[in-house]
Every structure is written in C-alpha cells, then in structure tokens.
Amino acid sequence: MFKLRVTKYYSFYNDFEKGFIKAEVIGYHDYLEYNGEAGAKQAGKLRLEGKDYIVSNGDICHFRFNV
C-alpha cells in the first residue's frame, strides 16, 4: 500500500517536471495592494520564473504546463 502511494506521487511529480514551462508569480502583498491578479498584472507585478525559482511564503503561482 505504501509503495503504491509513493509510486503515484512520483509519477505525478515526474509528469509535472517534464511538462513544466514557467511559473507566473505574484507576491501576496502585491495581490492585495492591486486588488487581485488583473490589477497586479497591469502594475507589472506578475513575473515569470523558471524551474530553479524557490517559492517564497505568500507567493501566488500559476504554473504553465504542457502535457
């Protein structure tokens, strides 16, 4: 049972890693200050990050992914 769960997790992670393109990231405080995603994007607070980015506490992320 444990091995099955680990295998499913690994399979998901492996697929995600293969299909990952970029992450669209907005800081939480920017999200609040500019009244959401659209406002933060218009203010230039949305940034694209690659696979080496370390997510910070409060980051709001949308992952660009290719299947």
Q: Encoding tokens for residue 18? A: 């293969």
> What does the mean pLDDT of the chain come to?
85
Name the phi and psi angles at 53, rounded to 5: -65, 135
What does the alpha-carbon distance between residue 51 and residue 28 come to, in Å, rounded to a whole number?
20
pTM of the predicted structure, to 2 decimals? 0.73
- pLDDT, position 1: 40
Q: Which CATH superfamily is domain 2-65 in?
A: Beta-grasp domain (3.10.20.30)
Tens-digit pLDDT profile for residues 44-53: 999 999 988 9
Tens-digit pLDDT profile for residues 20-30: 899 999 999 99
- Average pLDDT on 12-36 reads 89
Strands (E), the chain: 20-26, 47-49, 60-65
DSSP 50: -
What does the alpha-carbon distance between residue 19 and residue 66 come to, in Å, rounded to a whole number?
5
